[in-house]
Structure 1
Amino acid sequence: MKPIWIVDDDQSIRFVLEKALLREGLPTRSFTNPREVLAALENAAEDEGPQILVSDIRMPGGSGLELLEKVHVKLPGLPVIIMTAFSDLDSAVSAFQGGAFEYLPKPFDLPKAIDLIRRAVEESQREEVAEERMAAAPEMLGQAPAMQDVFRAIGRLSQSMVTVMITGESGSGKELVARALHKHSPRASGPFIAINTAAIPKDLLESELFGHERGAFTGAQTMRRGRFEQADGGTLFLDEIGDMPFDLQTRLLRVLSDGHFYRVGGHSAVKTNVRVIAATHQDLEQRVKEGGFREDLYHRLNVIRLRLPALRERREDVFMLTRHFLQQSAKQLGVDSKRISDAALQQLSRFSFPGNVRQLENICHWLTVMAPAQVIEPKDLPPEVLSATPDVVRALAPAEKTEAIKPEWAAVPENAPDAPQADAPVAGVACLPLAGLDQSASNWESGLEAEAQALLATGRTDVWDVLTRRFESKLIQTALVNTRGRRIEAAQKLGIGRNTITRKIQELNLE
């Protein structure tokens, strides 16, 4: 882990923080003035820089505010905590305009100072992980026509700063699209800040978005910048905007209108220059009609709408996404990447993926850990995929009645007593009623014998495989019709295992 750099001309402050942070398992490096810090930054390798910087404001040989400005030129994402005496609070507040993470008034309570530093460390680590993922992996994958439309839209919007609304089901990758819009925009050098408005309690969301002043409410020990200030000069992604409380929608509308807002408990307007990208899985037009979403805010956000397709609408992308996620999972776990057979890929591509791309990614994590062999076969797929009823089988089993399935090699005469009528509802095994199996055995066995003799007479050497496949196909199809497509129940009726029927359906191309 990178060290925490402490800059203060007061030796006692450096000593107290060093010892407290070391007890927390956090390495440190101390400096007495800004000149030493800048020299160290010039000579430090990329992996030797600071995790966060904790700096005093007033020091011989330079100001902490000047240091903040220079450090952010070299390391724009580095969290910086400014320490200051109460008499310097005005200066500390101005530090936020330079991008300080937080300020720490002196004299400070040591446990609270350590909590603040740990929070900055966690924020720094989250940003590092996000940057590594963005650098190591493609932004988005997709060859399906629906995804190509999305890529073209991103290209058209690359030189624009217009507000965008992204719609699509949960797990379809809306944040990836927002990140791509930011990366290819004139604001790419600025911050990208994402917030899920549905994941934050209503009482905290206002402070999270707009920040708060010291003493604004119980527990507000210091001033805190909100997401709008953090995203200044860049992009703010508001995910699940449809869940935003109605009273906060009014405040959001004002910010979008003139770029000004007030922190919670504040009396001075703060100006911010932010591009907003919103996303939702809800029908906002319906929410407006129901009175749950402001119509004027809807029109303000819905300047350009970009619809992201569900994964079931782009099944051809399942192949490349699966292989990509398997490689990604293996890298994260430090193991060799598993391969997946074409048969398993085919079965996986027929799954409906109610959780979309996120569910496919989770399935690949599961396979990386749970699949027993290095090559993933259909039988290794997770239970929710194996037990899913394919659309083709559901089509074979209408709600009211189903046409009887007649074996291709059956020799039962049309007017035989035990022969099912073409429009008879399915009651047992569709080709022959179970009650009449003994009486009719000679009929279908005679037909099988005749078919075998005809095939043998041609000199073929695969008669066993041909007839076995046809027998098993009709038997499984009939059982699935009888159970209206429920595989587990069909397997129980046939006296075979769930994995066996799943494997047979795949081998016999019955999907």
Structure 2
Amino acid sequence: MKSIWIVDDDHSIRFVLEKALAREGLPVRSFSQSRDLLAALEEDTPLVLVSDIRMPGGSGLELLATIKKRLPGLPVIIMTAYSDLDSAVAAFQGGAFEYLPKPFDLSRAVELIRRAMEEGQRESVVEEAQVQMPEMLGQAPAMQDVFRAIGRLSQSHVTVLITGESGSGKELVARALHKHSPRADGPFVAINTAAIPKDLLESELFGHERGAFTGAQASRRGRFEQAEGGTLFLDEIGDMPLDLQTRLLRVLSDGQYYRVGGHSPQRANVRVVAATHQNLEALVREGRFREDLFHRLNVIRLRLPPLRERREDVPLLARYFLQRSAAELGVEPKRLSDAALQRLVGFDFPGNVRQLENICHWLSVMAPSQVVEAKDLPQELLAGVPVAAGEAGAAPVPALGGSELPSAAPSPGATLPGPQADAWVAEMAREARRLLAAGETEVWDRLTRRFEASLILTALELTRGRRIEAAQKLGIGRNTITRKIQELGLDA
């Protein structure tokens, strides 16, 4: 078993730490100066290094810098009798695991060393697993289904429609489809149709000829031409204007299009992958999306699960994002304590994987120590409601939306006796039976939306429109209630 190395020119510090760690059954090796320790590194490596910050023959910070170059994953605890801000900042900037001011409580020091051992062992396993990081990560069954679908489509040119909430990684799936397709040697071109003004989107997609409109000083290739022989990713396809939907349908139907202001047809040798966070079937019913275009796009549909439906992937993703952020910032990767990790796993992540990535980047910059505790997490997570034990991989209740609940529905928050509760459930069952018997589609979505809308509106009425207080009464996070209000159209 590897040992814990202590380097300090103070014999008494070395002595008490050696005795305390020996009582815990932990092997120890001590050094009085850094050069002796560096010489010992030629033959062996420690499990944890505990170093004084000021020693003759070389400071602890200089030793820390040398160690991090040779053993970047080794946890290093810096001790100092000079409890000043500069020392603490320098230690953490150099990649120290923790900063231990003298005089210290011996039991706390042993506890800290044990935590460093556990984190060092955990991170070494993670680093080994992430040497060759794939373009997508996911152990959850729902993500494994996505990976299998990508594999089955690897030799296909068929059009694919990716659905999923914002931030769930739809473009990553599109890139994976391209990378593993026969068109992998061709270009991958992405365009977000919601981010480009309507009057410019046509030119962006199909290009334009010189003089086609004011400011068109030269001909310009559109995204279809840029993606020739490869893949064109149309993100947020549900926001495409109706007149452009007609032009896109023509391209998908016969493989031809015209530049803006052009008279010669252009051939399109492009595989189209589209994505949306919206319900396209609902948009078709509302007349906001062409039904014929929907069927052209909906040849193969891949549903990308939101992060709350794949909670078991949160630890793997979080560690990966923390490592990537650290590499970008040129600092030592932060580590998550068990309590912090549990908080992350229990959060709903309305912004999905993108939100988790942003949180990890924030932690890489703002967390006060190398080990992120639950109290160090951003306020949005501390205000969130964790899932109950045993629900880590469970999917949440899907979102419902619409107008009102059946008239017999009681006020949310009321404590119902058994018969009243049964009557309320029975009324909803009757409404569901009526809709199903009438051949209605999307019954689950319609009733759920009505249910959620009723809950939120009632809570907002009781709190006089105060969203945070309403969210607390409902037992949901403030970000969740804001997202639901927007999804259900309650803020109009």
TM-score range, shorter chain: 0.5 to 0.7
Residue 276 of structure 2 corresponds to which residue in structure 1? 280
User: What is the distance in 1 between the residues matched to 2:317 and 2:203?
Assistant: 38
User: What SS is found at the alignment partner of 2:354?
Assistant: helix
Q: Quick check: 1:399 aligned with 2:413?
A: yes
Query: 1:277 Cα deviation (Å)?
Result: 0.3
Q: Quick check: 1:199 aligned with 2:192?
A: no
Distance 1:136 1:194, change over 3 A: farther
User: What SS is found at the alignment partner of 1:309?
Assistant: coil
Query: 1:138 Cα deviation (Å)?
Result: 2.1
Moved more, 333-342 or 316-325: 333-342
Residue 324 of structure 1 corresponds to which residue in structure 2? 320
Letter in 2 for 1:190: G
Residue 161 of structure 1 corresponds to which residue in structure 2? 157
Contact 1:330 1:336 in 2 (8 A): yes
Distance 1:265 1:336, change over 3 A: same
Query: 1:136 Cα deviation (Å)?
Result: 8.0
User: What SS is found at the alignment partner of 2:228?
Assistant: coil
User: What is the distance in 1 between the residues matched to 2:363 and 2:298?
Assistant: 39
Query: 1:400 Cα deviation (Å)?
Result: 2.2
Of 232, 237, 253, the residue aligned with 2:233 is 237
Q: Quick check: 1:144 aligned with 2:144?
A: no
User: What is the distance in 1 between the residues matched to 2:321 and 2:416?
Assistant: 41
User: What is the distance in 1 between the residues matched to 2:271 and 2:190?
Assistant: 12
Alignment of 1:204-353 (within 5 A): 204-353=200-349
Alpha-carbon RMSD across the aligned residues, in angstroms, is 2.3
User: What is the distance in 1 between the residues matched to 2:149 and 2:143?
Assistant: 10
Contact 1:241 1:279 in 2 (8 A): yes
Distance 1:385 1:259, change over 3 A: same
Distance 1:391 1:144, change over 3 A: closer
Alignment of 1:71-86 (within 5 A): none
Distance 1:287 1:485, change over 3 A: closer
User: What SS is found at the alignment partner of 1:296?
Assistant: helix
User: What SS is found at the alignment partner of 1:194?
Assistant: strand
Query: 1:389 Cα deviation (Å)?
Result: 2.9
Q: Quick check: 1:355 aligned with 2:343?
A: no
Distance 1:391 1:137, change over 3 A: closer
User: What is the distance in 1 between the residues matched to 2:249 and 2:416?
Assistant: 57
Letter in 1 for 2:381: V
When normalised by structure 2's length, the TM-score is 0.53
User: What SS is found at the alignment partner of 1:249?
Assistant: helix
Contact 2:188 2:231 in 1 (8 A): yes
Residue 29 of structure 2 corresponds to which residue in structure 1? none
Letter in 1 for 2:310: R
User: What is the distance in 2 between the residues matched to 1:283 and 1:148?
Assistant: 23
Query: 1:334 Cα deviation (Å)?
Result: 1.5
User: What SS is found at the alignment partner of 1:218?
Assistant: coil
Bigger radius of gyration: 1
Distance 1:286 1:402, change over 3 A: closer
User: What is the distance in 1 between the residues matched to 2:133 and 2:213?
Assistant: 42
Letter in 1 for 2:240: M
Query: 1:402 Cα deviation (Å)?
Result: 10
User: What is the distance in 2 between the residues matched to 1:176 and 1:392?
Assistant: 30
Which runs of no fewer than 5 residues in structure 1 stay unpaired? 1-134, 404-482, 489-511
Letter in 2 for 1:149: D
User: What is the distance in 2 between the residues matched to 1:486 and 1:191?
Assistant: 47
Distance 1:296 1:486, change over 3 A: closer
What does the per-residue CA deviation read over 1:335-379, in whole Å, with 9 as the maximum and x for residues that have no partner? 111111111101110000000000000000110111000110100
User: What is the distance in 2 between the residues matched to 1:316 and 1:275?
Assistant: 33
% identical aligned pairs:
77
User: What is the distance in 2 between the residues matched to 1:261 and 1:250?
Assistant: 11
User: What is the distance in 1 between the residues matched to 2:473 and 2:175?
Assistant: 44
Contact 2:343 2:386 in 1 (8 A): no
Contact 1:168 1:174 in 2 (8 A): yes
Alignment of 1:412-431 (within 5 A): none
User: What is the distance in 2 between the residues matched to 1:136 and 1:359?
Assistant: 24
Contact 1:389 1:485 in 2 (8 A): no
User: What is the distance in 1 between the residues matched to 2:201 and 2:133?
Assistant: 31
Residue 365 of structure 1 corresponds to which residue in structure 2? 361
User: What is the distance in 1 between the residues matched to 2:384 and 2:134?
Assistant: 30
Number of aligned positions between the proteins: 272
Letter in 1 for 2:270: V
User: What is the distance in 1 between the residues matched to 2:215 and 2:228?
Assistant: 26
User: What SS is found at the alignment partner of 1:363?
Assistant: helix
User: What is the distance in 2 between the residues matched to 1:175 and 1:288?
Assistant: 24
When normalised by structure 1's length, the TM-score is 0.51
Instruction: Determine which structure has greater relative contact order: mean sequence separation of CA pairs < 8 Å that are 6+ residues apart, divided by chain length.
Output: 2
Query: 1:486 Cα deviation (Å)?
Result: 7.2
User: What SS is found at the alignment partner of 1:160?
Assistant: coil
User: What SS is found at the alignment partner of 2:147?
Assistant: helix
Alignment of 1:48-197 (within 5 A): 137-197=133-193
User: What is the distance in 2 between the residues matched to 1:485 and 1:246?
Assistant: 39
Query: 1:176 Cα deviation (Å)?
Result: 0.3
Letter in 2 for 1:369: V
